[in-house]
Structures are given as structure tokens and as C-alpha cells.
């Protein structure tokens, strides 16, 4: 369970992210602000998305009392020439932290949209208690394919990723574990977006992460090396 201090830190981070995005959006060009629909932005147009995700950790590796991992996240994507977008993503719950950069190429056909590209992530985890000091880090490479449809006031999108990654875990300076696997997981996510107020959009998403290693469970990785399912629920705003 997160401590009160960690909950306050997460709340403060989310508050700052939302305020920054609101200030930026007030100066931005008006229009359809759906974020996950694989529709290319106009060149050099920047979009922001922020919110909360909850991941259900399998009871094979954690106790039922601590089987949910929350994250606050911030997303940004920048339109580039030639139907390309670049993205940056950051998420944290203090114990686990991840940063991702992405590059996607888009194909638009009426209200139907496709995109393909790759995400590269670096993550870091740490836990310090009186009797233990653990830290872990790793890299994830995730080729991705996305498809979506714009129904007007609502959009439906899905993304599929294949995960390649490695990690190392240390206690103080002693190496406890070293993981490297060419294909360590698969992810399917579905997003529904619709306008909430003015030009601000709300996002609801569900993800299925099927992998031998999921970075939010780095503290328990040494116990299980089988493919397990990590359901994820996402709620956010595009501002």
C-alpha cells in the first residue's frame, strides 16, 4: 500500500500536470482534441493528456491487500511533417517510474485511422525501508500498431504492442536479478474518447497486458517467470 506521503506526492504531481495543460490549452488552437485516436496532428501542433491508471497485479505474485498499482501519468504528442507524430509519456507512483518516447506514422481514410511505429521506454523502481534498500531499472522496446474510428462526438481506438525488454535489480550495490528476453509480453488497449466540456475531452481505457514481466511488479519478479495477465484501467483528460 502507498503511504500518506506517497499519496500526497502523487496528488501534487497530478495537480501540477493538469494546471500546466489547462494553461497551455487556453492558448492552443481549438478543434477535435481526441488524443488516442491515431489521427496525425497538424505539423508542430502539441496535444496534452493526463490522468490515472490502475493495474491489477496477479495474486500469484502479490497479496490481495496490495494487488492494485496506481499511476499518475502525463502524455504529449507533437505533429510532424509527412503524417508522423512524436510522443512523450511519463508515469509514476513514486515506487515505479517510467518514461517513454514514441514515433508513429499515420494513414487516414475518411473517419478511419491507422498508425504504426515504435515506443522506447526506460523505467526505474526503488524501495527504501529500515532493513532493505532495493532499486531496479530496465529498458522496453515496443513495436506498436493502432487503429481507430471517429464517430463524431465519440471516438474508439485500439493499440497492440509487442514488448522486448531487460531489467536489473539491486540490493544496495549487490546484483539480485538480471532479466533479458527478446519477446517478453503483449499489450492490447482500447480507448473511448468524447468531449466533456468546451474543447476538453475525457478518456476511458481498458488494457490487457500479457507478459512474463511487467515493470510495476518489479519487486516480485524473481518469484514468477510465466506469462501472466495484468488488466489495466485508464481514466484521463485531454486538455
Query: 197 with 223: CB under 8 angstroms?
Result: no
> Of 238, 181, 239, whose CA–CA distance to 36 is shortest?
238
Give 25's pLDDT tier (boundaries 50, 70, 90): very low
Which residue in the block uniquely carries the three cell numbers 517510474? Answer: 97
State the total domains in the chain: 1
Q: Is pLDDT of 42 > 80?
A: yes
* Start-to-end Cα distance in the chain: 30
pLDDT, tens digit, for every residue of 125-163? 887 777 777 888 889 999 999 999 999 889 999 999 999
CA angle 219, 68, 123 (to 5 degrees): 45
| Domain residue limits at 34 | 4-238
170-223 per-position pLDDT tens digit: 777 777 667 777 778 899 999 999 987 766 789 999 999 998 878 777 766 555
Q: What's the pLDDT at 169?
A: 74
Q: At 179, which CATH number?
A: 2.40.160
Give the pLDDT score at 8: 54
Q: What is the DSSP string of 131-191?
A: S-EEEEEEEEEEEEEEEEEE-SS-EEEEEEEEEEEEEEEEETTEEEEEEEEEEEEEEEEEE
Amino acid at each position: 500500500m502507498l503511504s500518506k506521503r506517497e499519496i500526497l506526492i502523487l496528488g501534487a504531481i497530478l495537480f501540477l500536470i493538469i494546471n500546466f495543460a489547462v494553461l497551455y490549452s487556453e492558448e492552443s488552437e481549438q478543434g477535435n482534441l481526441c488524443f488516442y485516436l491515431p489521427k496525425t496532428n497538424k505539423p508542430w501542433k502539441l496535444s496534452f493528456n493526463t490522468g490515472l491508471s490502475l493495474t491489477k497485479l496477479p495474486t500469484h505474485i502479490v497479496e490481495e491487500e496490495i494487488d492494485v498499482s496506481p499511476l499518475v501519468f502525463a502524455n504529449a504528442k507533437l505533429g510532424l511533417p509527412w503524417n508522423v507524430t512524436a510522443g512523450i509519456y511519463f508515469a509514476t507512483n513514486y515506487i515505479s517510474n517510467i518514461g517513454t518516447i514514441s514515433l508513429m506514422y499515420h494513414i487516414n481514410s475518411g473517419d478511419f485511422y491507422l498508425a504504426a511505429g515504435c515506443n522506447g521506454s526506460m523505467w526505474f523502481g526503488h524501495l527504501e525501508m529500515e532493513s532493505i534498500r532495493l532499486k531496479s531499472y530496465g529498458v522496453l522496446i515496443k513495436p506498436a500498431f493502432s487503429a481507430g474510428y471517429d464517430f463524431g462526438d465519440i471516438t474508439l481506438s485500439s493499440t497492440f504492442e509487442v514488448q522486448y525488454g531487460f531489467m536489473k535489480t539491486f540490493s544496495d550495490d549487490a546484483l539480485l536479478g538480471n532479466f533479458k528476453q527478446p519477446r517478453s509480453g503483449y499489450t492490447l488497449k482500447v480507448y473511448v474518447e468524447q468531449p466533456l466540456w468546451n474543447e476538453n475531452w475525457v478518456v476511458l481505457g481498458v488494457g490487457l497486458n500479457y507478459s512474463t514481466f511487467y515493470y510495476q511488479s518489479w519487486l516480485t519478479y524473481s518469484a514468477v517467470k510465466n506469462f501472466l495477465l495484468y488488466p489495466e484501467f485508464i481514466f484521463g483528460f485531454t486538455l
